[in-house]
Structure 1
Amino acid sequence: MHLKGKTVGVIAPAGVPDHDDVARGIALLESWGLEVRVGAHIRERFRYFAGTHDARQADLAWALTDPSIDIVWIARGGYGCVHCLPALPQALPRPKTVIGFSDATSLFCAMQHMPGARLIHGPSLGSLAAHVDDASRQSVLIALTDSVAPAITLQHLHGARAPVSGRLHGGNITTLASMAGTRWQADCRDAIVLLEDITELAYRLDRSITLLKESGTFDGARAFVLGEFVRCALPADADYTLHDIFVDLLAPYGVPVFAGAPIGHAARNVAWTYGAPVRLEHEQLVFESAGEAAHDASGTLRSLAPAR
């Protein structure tokens, strides 16, 4: 995908963005050769949302259905995408890329099987120029241009160390849990599941993971990779870590658990694409090219298509 001449539609389907940060993000996109158009309601405010539900739904529908828009960029997370999901179009008029993270996880769950939708978990536009580092920005360019991203070194926490291949899924734990039991529940079968969160106490993370387990969301997952957990405090007298909690909860799946992925709400938020083929080996998350994804080490054709 060549960026020059592509058009970005900027929308705020959730929380109220910092418009100075969004302006800095727009300037950066324009320096990349992208044309930028802004949703009609992005500067509105209704309670803790960037406009009423109808206004936010209208901007999302515009960005997804206008054939002149190539890339839909979420301005900010927070909370509110879920109100827009019932208004999602049944189909896209042409292939589109959607970029965001945090609360956008709910949007990605709802669009995970939509033909023509390419979903990139990466910095929101409000954080792209103002709050993440150069490596994060470079990772977005890599994702947008279909280049192969460099491998990410991880920390092995639990399970076998044999290589594991799968497609990427996951996102914000609390948002994933809010989708459990709905028609938009995440489909993690055959997936390597990346997880992150912010400002959630340990017991609330436990509660969300338990809900995801009991709802069947994680059934068929091939591995789990933990990202950043920003300001997720333990009790003052805790003699355990967050990693201990996650291993306790995820070990029954009998699959590997790793930590250390630079994804989430910290200054480094590496972009990755939903459904992208990857493998875990030598304590690294390795992104595969299209050719590598088509064949395993023996040369046998294999499929990483998501289960329906």
Structure 2
Amino acid sequence: MHLKGRTVGVIAPAGVPDRENVARGIALLESWGLEVRVGAHVTDRFRYFAGTHENRRADLAWALTDPSIDIVWIARGGYGCVHCLPAIPATLPRAKTVIGFSDATSLFCAMSGMRDARLIHGPSLGSLAAHVDDASRQSVLTALAGDVAPAIRLQRLHGAPHAVSGRLHGGNITTLASVAGTRWQPDCRDAIVLLEDITELAYRLDRSITLLKESGAFGGARAFVLGEFVRCPLPPDADYTLHDILVDLLAPFGVPVFAGLPIGHAAQNVAWTYGAPAHIEGDQLVFDASHDARLASPLQHAHQR
């Protein structure tokens, strides 16, 4: 895969990134042949954000509208992307790829279906070199190339063993719930919904999923696939598992529920693309070749204006 000559714009629209980890991430990108430009306010700090709302919005607008930037890489999750969503332009000047996860889920909801946008749920720049494993890093390269990722074996928790197909959607449960009922609400119709979270008590996950159900965000979903739930404890005397709770909440949709997807805040965080076609057959999540070659491999079109 040839990345030389492509330009990454690094932005921090949410929490304050670890500067050392971001520097390690930049060095890794440069070793891949990418040119890296850092947003003007990535090293800012305002309370628990990486800069004021206005400055974080300015960096997001810069990265999405500068025609010389091929890839927009989110430095860190945390909280704050929602303040920046009004800065998303109505159109992009050219095909762009946006990479991140966690709080970037709200950004992906807002940009889902946007022409010329390819949204990759994968390691933030701060975790790319410092936290995730080699397989996760390779999955990012595979996604950037537009190549088809290998199938992933899942664990069936609920539902009949029949094949399911759909487009990929989802992300961080708490962040999805935070935009439910807004103009950026997730639309999971005809989707295989991938879900993960971190540091949420079981009842908070229950609350978020209930909100997503009642808002209609999960209406029309074809399957749910659970990823990593890092430090999401149950009460000490619990005689049930977190999967029991999640299945109870999702089973009324009448579609299969699976677990075992290596996405989220653990060392494994394999990349996947919003809207990409996939299917589940034989308890395996299979990533299908994209029907849109132009967006499936945007790096091949990076300098078409």
TM-score (norm 2): 0.95
Using the alignment, how far apart are the partners of 1:75 and 1:3 within structure 2?
A: 20
Per the alignment, residue 225 of structure 2 pairs with: 225
Cα distance in 2 for partners of 1:162, 1:62 equals: 45
CA distance in 1, matches of 2:286, 2:112: 22
Which whole-Å deviations, capped at 9, do the CAs of 1:151-202 have from their partners, x for residues lacking one?
0110000001101000000000000000100000001000000000000000
Task: Tell me the distance in 1 between the aligned counterparts of 2:292 and 2:234.
Answer: 41
Partner residue of 2:182?
182
1:15 aligns with 2:15: yes
> Following the alignment from structure 1 to structure 2, what is the Cα–Cα distance between the partners of residues 104 and 19?
19
Distance in 2 separating the partners of 1:168 and 1:2: 26
Runs of 4+ in 1 over 3 A off after TM superposition: 290-293
Contact 2:60 2:84 (8 Å CA) reproduced: yes
1:108-119 to structure 2, matched below 5 A, reads 108-119=108-119
Counterpart residue identity of residue 273, structure 2: T
| Structure 1 CA distance for aligned equivalents of residues 232 and 44 of structure 2 | 31
Deviation digits for residues 18-71 of structure 1 (CA, Å, limit 9, x no counterpart) = 010000000000010100000011110000000000000000000000000000
Residue-by-residue CA offset, 1:274-302 (whole Å, 9 max, x unaligned): 01110001111001124799xxxxxxxxx
Q: Which residue of 1 aligns with 2:289?
A: 289
Specify whether residues 161 and 3 from structure 1 end up closer, same or farther in structure 2 by C-alpha distance, changes over 3 A only. same
CA distance in 1, matches of 2:216, 2:177: 11
Distance in 1 between residues matched to 2:118 and 2:17, nearest whole Å: 23
Provide the residue aligned with 1:172 in structure 2: 172
Following the alignment from structure 2 to structure 1, what is the Cα–Cα distance between the partners of residues 76 and 163?
Answer: 36
Match of 1:61 in 2: 61
Contact persistence 2:25–2:128 (CA under 8 A): yes
Match of 1:70 in 2: 70
Distance in 2 (alpha carbons) for counterparts of 1:119 and 1:4: 21
Hey, what does 2:210 align to over in structure 1? 210
Instruction: Determine the structure 2 residue equivalent to 1:303.
Output: none
Which residue is equivalent to 1:262? 262
After TM superposition, list the pairs within 5 Å mapping 1:127-166 onto structure 2.
Answer: 127-166=127-166
**What is the SS of the residue equivalent to 1:26?**
helix
Q: Residues 76-91 of structure 1 correspond to what in structure 2 (within 5 A)?
A: 76-91=76-91
Q: Distance in 2 between matches of 1:7 and 1:121?
A: 19
Letter in 1 for 2:105: T
CA distance in 2, matches of 1:291, 1:88: 26
Structure 2 unaligned spans of 5+? 294-305
One-letter identity of the residue aligned with 1:16: V
Q: How far apart, in 2, do the equivalents of 1:87 and 1:144 lie?
A: 25
TM-superposed CA distance for 1:14, in Å, is: 0.2
Question: Aligned equivalents of 1:64 and 1:239: distance in 2?
Answer: 48
Q: Aligned equivalents of 2:258 and 2:29: distance in 1?
A: 33
CA distance in 2, matches of 1:87, 1:5: 27
Whether the 8 Å CA contact 2:12–2:76 is kept in 1: the answer is yes
Q: Deviation digits for residues 230-258 of structure 1, max 9, x if unmatched?
A: 00000000000011001101111110000
Render the CA deviation track for 1:114-169: whole Å, top value 9, x for unaligned. 11000000000000000000000000000000111000110000001101000000
Partner Cα distance (1:208, 1:259) in 2: 18
The alignment of Structure 1 onto Structure 2 pairs a total of residues equal to 293
TM-score, structure 1 normalization: 0.94
Q: Secondary structure in 2 aligned to 1:262?
A: coil
Q: How far off its partner does 1:2 sit?
A: 4.0
**Unaligned 5+ residue runs, structure 1?**
294-308
**2:125 is aligned with what amino acid?**
L
Whole-angstrom distance in 2 between the partners of 1:87 and 1:124: 20
